[in-house]
Amino acid sequence: NAGVTQTPKFQVLKTGQSMTLQCAQDMNHNSMYWYRQDPGMGLRLIYYSASEGTTDKGEVPNGYNVSRLNKREFSLRLESAAPSQTSVYFCASKLSFGEQFFGPGTRLTVL
């Protein structure tokens, strides 16, 4: 099992550009999550999907959209990137119970 995979690993955008961060898991998990991690702050939840076909806002959803493409894949889209979205983004997944498993992260810089 590859676990949780994320692409790309690194990305540099200019203000106003758009991009999609991809996440996939091969553990047959029901729930998937997108977090951002900023220096000096804990992980903050952007969006989550409790099950295939559902998505909900987390703590910091503004400026982002998500798609739960199927059970395996959960993508995060920035429609018009802003410097405040410079961060490290982590995707996670879990079964209905137990701990969340995290991907390796995408380091995004918005100039």
Partner 1 sequence: GESVGLHLPTLSVQEGDNSIINCAYSNSASDYFIWYKQESGKGPQFIIDIRSNMDKRQGQRVTVLLNKTVKHLSLQIAATQPGDSAVYFCAERAVNFGNEKLTFGTGTRLTIIP
* Residues of this chain that bind partner 1 (CB under 8 A): 4, 31, 40-45, 50, 56, 90, 92, 99-105
14 versus 40: smaller Cβ distance to partner 1: 40
Query: How are beta strands 64-68 and 56-57 bridged, if at all?
Result: unpaired
In the bound complex, what is the minimum distance in angstroms from residue 16's beta carbon to partner 1? Answer: 28
17 versus 61: smaller Cβ distance to partner 1: 61
How far separated are the first and last CA of the chain, in Å rounded? Answer: 36
In the bound complex, what is the minimum distance in angstroms from residue 75's beta carbon to partner 1? Answer: 17
59 versus 79: smaller Cβ distance to partner 1: 59
